[in-house]
């Protein structure tokens, strides 16, 4: 020991926390403090001195903690370091510069370094504190998991909540313990922070092949003791159930900043002790390092930047001017034997960034390079399954590429055009479709992308190969027609822009200037929808009325016997008692069949056309309005009761659902729109099955888009997370208006998203990052819609000309159609169809 400084002249630095970063601080200080100016007191809460937490999984099998011990962690022979293990810093008094420990000791300091790290986040799931529930953080945690696993026996199920880096490590630990691991990840893919959708798909397949059961896109709703008293019963948000011996929570970490909060230090809005670039906190005598430090507001969860913060703090204590230089968040991992690496701007958030992807499902590899908009500079990348190129690629981040981007990950075929690819070349890796199969389908008559998708499945998954499908069509001599129909050579998107830019407000004007003929049942309703989307004119005003299909013409859905259904709007499922009473009275007075819909409102069936105005007059008088069940427009915004009533609710889902439904009501679009808002991860409103789904989190809202039902159901995918109310609505405004402007005729949001070149990443860039510079324009268009909305049925009731349409017989407007009959003999009222045998006895005679 160098004792150049007299003991009385020494200063004391207290280090609160003895993890990897705390130990690095002590090591660096003792190596550089050659004069012995600082006496160090280390308070380590765990009973063991610092160990390699990154290598925690290697403890499984050896169960030898000594193998994880960091070199020199006991500071043997150094009397300037006072290491106290099993002692926690409980309180700080900045005024007197004293720390009170868990043992009751009070330690004075000249400088205090907070190295308290982070703690595992445990979702507030009912039952999370049961005896067989663990976190994956310390050696003691692993000892508890081991004991429970051994008691359960080989093959017992273990559930890991969280599919990130630590979650997969925990799953591997369970696997090594002889258990059958299930991984539950709330996001749509594993390791969402490190990999994108394509890399996540390959990773999921690889780990599934290794024996893991993976559940993505679902949360954990409840944990209960098993009925036999042995083990647990875990209910997921999709209502599936897993019986398991134990649960390990690995759903992320939070900065362990309570000690600092209690002392009045400044903390970030998302946690962490705010520091400057020199790691100094809001108190000039206190520093923070590692995961607890929010360097100018940002926390870093990797050990490498943590070590850097420790070095900077040491430099400052010794009189230097060191600053935190930023963090390289690049990682290369081997999880369950699977290589995973991400580096630089892996998710392409840089403005104008482009992505080059090689997705080889057959080999189980995925590679993506993110490059600048001129494709010359490497910004980042993702490698899954084979990370051998990581060492060469990571140093190139920010540099000019030595070759074409694709050549760096796929030298064999990246620089070849479609015409030079052999027939066996895999075009669609998701569905293993070769060039030969696609070209064969084209020669057999598949003359556009949808036809190729239908007969080969190419392009129906991630959509990344759609541009190549178009190139193969062009190479095969197929002229890619974008015509809406025989009367317009333009696509729907082009017609939308013509209408929006020219101010054309009638079909006759549009077809006269840009089309030919009289129109048909394809272009007329399409143009009617475009006209409705670009103004607040009533759809039955003037010439527009003749363009509508039957449902829009009568503002009601026609049923199989020629009657109509009536669906009043109930925003978010809310309805008053008086409105319910009036609905019941209407049903009785007009003899209507009543059914509660899946979208949380009431459908009244069996109304004749001349009855519609009378029914709607009563509904409007009761304060209700059109539910637009007949239109290609917003239908419903389904909700659960949320935090207002539910004990699990995290946000006011009903309030948000009402706000959204009232904002987007009457919004005409290429196809119908359905939304939902769930108040927590239990997902009772089934938001991920909707075109726009909103799910509450403890920090705000997660926004999902592109969920549809029908013949090919699709789950909505996460567009953005933890949004405040204002940002959520802004993103939905942009998303819906972008869809309305660019989708094809009768194209729902799910296939529209699949067809976008660039897929979800491109959509995120447009909606969240405004990569096209049109965000303000999209938001303004939605503001105009909201300002111009008027209930369609209320407008009809105020206009005699529109009311005159609602008759069965023009020359006898008061007469009912005698051909409309019903069968009331059963428990339900049903329509009777003339000439249809077996519907009801004697129906033809009636």
pLDDT band at 1 (very low <50, low <70, confident <90, very high): very low
- Provide mean pLDDT across the span 211-231: 90
Domain boundaries along the sequence of the chain: 7-118+255-317, 133-251, 331-409, 418-475, 492-548, 554-631, 634-788
Identify the helix (H) or strand (E) that includes residue 274.
strand 273-275
Measured in whole angstroms, the distance separating CA 582 from the mean position of its chain's CA atoms is 40
Task: Describe the chain by its helix, strand, coil percentages, rounded to 5.
Answer: 35, 25, 45
CATH among 1.10.760.10, 3.50.50.60, 1.10.10.1100, 3.10.450.50 for 418-475: 1.10.10.1100
pLDDT, tens only, 759-788: 788 899 999 999 889 999 999 999 999 999
Q: Which strands form 133-135's sheet, in the order they lie side by side?
A: 133-135, 246-249, 157-161, 180-185, 213-216
CA pair distance 691, 702, nearest whole angstrom? 14
Dihedral sign, Cα of residue 168, residue 170, residue 171, residue 172: positive
pLDDT of the residue at 844 = 26
pLDDT band at 450 (very low <50, low <70, confident <90, very high): confident
Of 264-278, 415-429, 657-671, minimum mean pLDDT range: 415-429
Domain 331-409 CATH class label: alpha beta
Q: How does DSSP assign 153-185, residue by residue?
A: -TT-EEEEE--SHHHHHHHHHHHHTT-EEEEEE
Q: Give the relative orientation of helices 725-742 and 653-664 as an angle to the nearest 10 degrees.
A: 40
Residue 846 has pLDDT above 60, yes or no: no
Domain 554-631 CATH class label: alpha beta
Helices (H) and strands (E) in the chain, counts: 26, 39
CB-count exposure of residue 495 (10 Å: 0-12, 13-18, 19+): buried
pLDDT of the residue at 435 = 81
Residue 840 has pLDDT above 60, yes or no: no
- Provide mean pLDDT across the span 711-724: 84
pLDDT of the residue at 128 = 95
Across 405-409, 466-470, 723-727, which has the greatest mean pLDDT? 723-727
What's the first-to-final CA gap in the chain, in angstroms?
Answer: 110
- Provide mean pLDDT across the span 276-303: 94
pLDDT of the residue at 452 = 85
Residue 181 vs residue 537, higher pLDDT: 181
Q: How does DSSP assign 38-76, residue by residue?
A: EEEEEEESSSS--B-STTGGGHHHH--GGGGBPTTTT-T
pLDDT band at 3 (very low <50, low <70, confident <90, very high): low
Residue 584 has pLDDT above 60, yes or no: yes
pTM more than 0.95: no
The chain-wide mean pLDDT, for the chain, equals 86
Residue 411 has pLDDT above 60, yes or no: no
Residue 734 has pLDDT above 90, yes or no: yes
- Provide mean pLDDT across the span 28-37: 92
Domain 634-788 in CATH 3.30.413.10: yes
- 646 labelled ligand-binding: yes
pLDDT of the residue at 652 = 93
Name the CATH superfamily housing domain 133-251: FAD/NAD(P)-binding domain (3.50.50.60)
Of 149-163, 327-341, 344-358, 513-527, minimum mean pLDDT range: 327-341
Whose CA is closest to 678, among 653, 643, 650, 648?
A: 653
pLDDT, tens only, 75-88: 998 999 999 999 99
- Provide mean pLDDT across the span 292-310: 90
Residue 755 vs residue 49, higher pLDDT: 49
- 299 labelled ligand-binding: no
Of 339-343, 404-408, 481-485, 667-671, minimum mean pLDDT range: 481-485
Name the CATH superfamily housing domain 7-118+255-317: FAD/NAD(P)-binding domain (3.50.50.60)
- 640 labelled ligand-binding: yes
pLDDT, tens only, 85-125: 999 999 999 999 999 999 999 999 999 999 999 999 999 99
Intrachain domains 7-118+255-317 and 133-251 with the same fold? yes
Residue 16 has pLDDT above 80, yes or no: yes
pLDDT of the residue at 225 = 94
pLDDT, tens only, 465-516: 666 777 788 778 776 667 887 788 888 888 998 988 888 888 888 998 999 8
Residue 812 has pLDDT above 60, yes or no: no
- 447 labelled ligand-binding: no
Q: Which residue has the tokens 């939308």?
A: 496
């Amino acid at each position: 020991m160098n004792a150049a400084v007299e003991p009385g002249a020494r200063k004391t630095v207290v280090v609160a926390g003895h993890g990897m970063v705390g130990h690095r601080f002590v090591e660096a200080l003792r190596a550089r403090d050659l004069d012995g100016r600082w006496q160090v007191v280390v308070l380590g809460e765990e009973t063991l001195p610092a160990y390699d937490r990154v290598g925690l999984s290697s403890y499984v099998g050896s169960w030898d903690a000594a193998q994880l011990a960091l070199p020199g962690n006991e500071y043997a022979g150094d009397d300037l370091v006072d290491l106290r293990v099993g002692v926690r810093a409980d309180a700080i008094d900045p005024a007197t510069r004293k720390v009170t420990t868990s043992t009751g000791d009070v330690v004075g300091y000249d400088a205090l370094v907070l190295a308290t790290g982070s703690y595992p986040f445990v979702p507030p799931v009912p039952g999370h504190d049961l005896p067989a529930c663990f976190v994956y953080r310390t050696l003691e945690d692993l000892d508890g998991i081991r004991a429970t696993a051994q008691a359960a026996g080989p093959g017992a199920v273990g559930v890991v909540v969280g599919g990130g880096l630590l979650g997969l490590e925990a799953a591997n630990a369970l696997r090594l313990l002889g258990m059958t691991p299930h991984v539950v990840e709330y996001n749509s893919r594993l390791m969402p922070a490190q990999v994108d959708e394509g890399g996540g798909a390959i990773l999921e397949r690889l780990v599934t092949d290794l024996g893991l059961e993976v559940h993505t896109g679902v949360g954990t709703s409840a944990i209960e003791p098993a009925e036999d008293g042995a083990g647990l019963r875990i209910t997921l948000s999709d209502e599936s159930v897993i019986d398991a011996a134990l649960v390990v929570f690995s759903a992320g970490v939070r900065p362990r900043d309570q000690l600092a909060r209690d002392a009045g230090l400044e903390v970030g809005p998302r946690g962490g002790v705010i520091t400057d670039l020199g790691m100094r906190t809001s108190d000039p005598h206190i520093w923070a390092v590692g995961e607890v430090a929010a360097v100018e507001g940002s926390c870093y969860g990797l050990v490498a930047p943590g070590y850097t913060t420790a070095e900077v703090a040491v430099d400052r204590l010794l009189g230097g001017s060191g600053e935190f230089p930023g963090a390289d968040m690049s990682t290369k991992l081997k999880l369950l034997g699977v290589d995973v690496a991400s580096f630089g701007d892996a998710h392409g958030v840089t403005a104008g960034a482009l992505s080059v992807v090689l997705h080889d499902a057959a080999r189980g590899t995925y590679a993506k390079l993110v490059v600048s908009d001129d494709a010359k500079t490497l910004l980042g990348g993702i490698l899954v399954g084979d990370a051998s190129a990581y060492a060469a690629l990571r140093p190139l981040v920010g540099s000019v590429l030595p070759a074409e981007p694709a050549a760096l990950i796929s030298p064999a075929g990246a620089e070849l055009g479609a015409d030079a690819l052999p027939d066996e070349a895999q075009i669609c890796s998701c569905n293993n479709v070769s060039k030969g199969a696609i070209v064969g389908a084209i020669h057999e008559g598949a003359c556009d992308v949808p036809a190729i998708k239908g007969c080969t499945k190419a392009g129906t998954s991630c959509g990344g190969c759609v541009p190549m499908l178009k190139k193969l069509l062009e190479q095969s001599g197929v002229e890619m027609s974008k015509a809406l129909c025989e009367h317009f050579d333009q696509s729907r998107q082009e017609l939308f822009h013509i209408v929006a830019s020219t101010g054309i407000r009638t079909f006759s004007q549009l077809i006269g200037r840009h089309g030919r003929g009289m129109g048909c049942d394809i272009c007329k309703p399409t143009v009617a929808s475009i006209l409705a989307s670009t103004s607040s004119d009533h759809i039955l005003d003037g010439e527009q009325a003749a363009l509508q299909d039957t449902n829009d013409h009568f503002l009601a859905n026609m049923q199989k016997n020629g009657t109509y259904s009536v669906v009043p709007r109930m925003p978010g499922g809310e309805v008053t008692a008086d409105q319910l009473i009036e609905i019941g009275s209407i049903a009785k007075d007009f003899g209507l069949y009543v059914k509660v819909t899946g979208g949380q409102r009431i459908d009244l069936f069996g109304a004749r056309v001349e009855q519609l105005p009378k029914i709607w007059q009563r509904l409007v008088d009761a304060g209700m309005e059109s539910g637009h069940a007949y239109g290609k427009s917003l239908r419903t915004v389904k909700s659960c009761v949320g935090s207002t009533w539910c004990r699990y609710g995290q946000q006011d889902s009903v309030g948000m659902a009402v706000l959204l439904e009232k904002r987007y009501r009457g919004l005409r679009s290429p196809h119908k729109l359905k939304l939902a808002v769930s108040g927590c991860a239990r997902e009772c409103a089934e938001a991920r099955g909707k075109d726009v789904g909103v799910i509450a989190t403890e920090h705000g809202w997660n926004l999902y888009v592109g969920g549809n039902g029908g013949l090919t159901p699709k789950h909505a995918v996460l567009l953005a997370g933890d949004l405040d109310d204002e940002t959520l609505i802004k993103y939905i405004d942009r998303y819906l208006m972008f869809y309305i402007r660019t989708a094809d005729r009768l194209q729902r949001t799910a296939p529209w998203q699949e067809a976008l070149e660039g897929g979800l990443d491109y959509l995120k860039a447009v909606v969240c990052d405004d990569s096209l510079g049109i965000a303000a324009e999209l938001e303004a268009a939605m503001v105009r819609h909201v300002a111009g909305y008027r209930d369609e049925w209320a407008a009809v009731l105020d206009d005699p000309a529109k009311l005159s349409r609602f008759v069965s017989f023009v020359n006898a407007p008061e007469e009912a159609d005698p051909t409309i009959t019903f069968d009331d003999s059963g428990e339900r009222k049903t329509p009777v169809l003339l000439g249809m045998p077996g519907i009801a006895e004697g129906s033809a005679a009636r």
